[in-house]
Amino acid sequence: MNEETEIQHLEPGKKVGLVVVITGNGKGKTTSALGIALRAAGHGMKVCLIQFMKGDIHSGELDSIKRLAPEVELHVKGKGFCGIMGNPYKFPEHRKDAQGALSLAKEKIASGDYDIVILDEINNSLKLKLVDLEQVLGLIDNKPAALHLVLTGRDAHPEVVFRAHTVSEIGEVKHAYRLGIAPQKGIDY
């Protein structure tokens, strides 16, 4: 871009708080949501990211989000993925943590302090019955009109998809894990 090129700044005629669902069996749902957070931080918007199921393995996103503060804040509320990858915690512990994440989400959504709230892995939490459909629909239906709400995770419920404005499905074409390659730092975590 040369110095004479003027950058156009778009502003919507009417601000609408979108419900965005990022789902599918492919890799990159959280990464896509983090891209939204990164973009929003660049506009000086306030973002709250609540992770429902992650938390038992250190991930690079934990440290990088700290660098986006104060625009982006992260709350890791889970104990990892329920029932897979050798996770030692029982269902009641996962449900208790997910219910705590849900309470925090209600608080952050109602606060009026954020432009975007991202609920990472809430779709998985719903599928696994760590949270209930009525609870998730309540978050969507009762969000402030200008707030953008992003819900990530596999197996998005049809009612959640129906209520969303934008739904992206990330499909797996090929994954290194299926080739016997262990998760790689900076790519997978």
Residue whose structure tokens are 């016997």: 180
Instruction: Give the pLDDT of residue 170.
Output: 97
Instruction: Give the pLDDT of residue 62.
Output: 79
Q: How confident is the model at residue 121 (pLDDT cuts 50, 70, 90)?
A: very high
- What is the rounded average pLDDT of the residues 114-142? 97
Report the candidate in 4, 31, 18, 7 with the shortest Cα–Cα distance to residue 143: 18
Q: How confident is the model at residue 4 (pLDDT cuts 50, 70, 90)?
A: low
Instruction: Give the pLDDT of residue 58.
Output: 66
Domain 19-171: give its CATH architecture: 3-Layer(aba) Sandwich (3.40)
- For the chain, the structural domain boundaries read 19-171
Q: How confident is the model at residue 168 (pLDDT cuts 50, 70, 90)?
A: very high
Chain centroid to CA 52: 9
Instruction: Give the pLDDT of residue 45.
Output: 97
Arithmetic mean of pLDDT over the chain: 89
Is the pLDDT at 119 greater than 80? The verdict is yes
- What is the rounded average pLDDT of the residues 154-161? 98
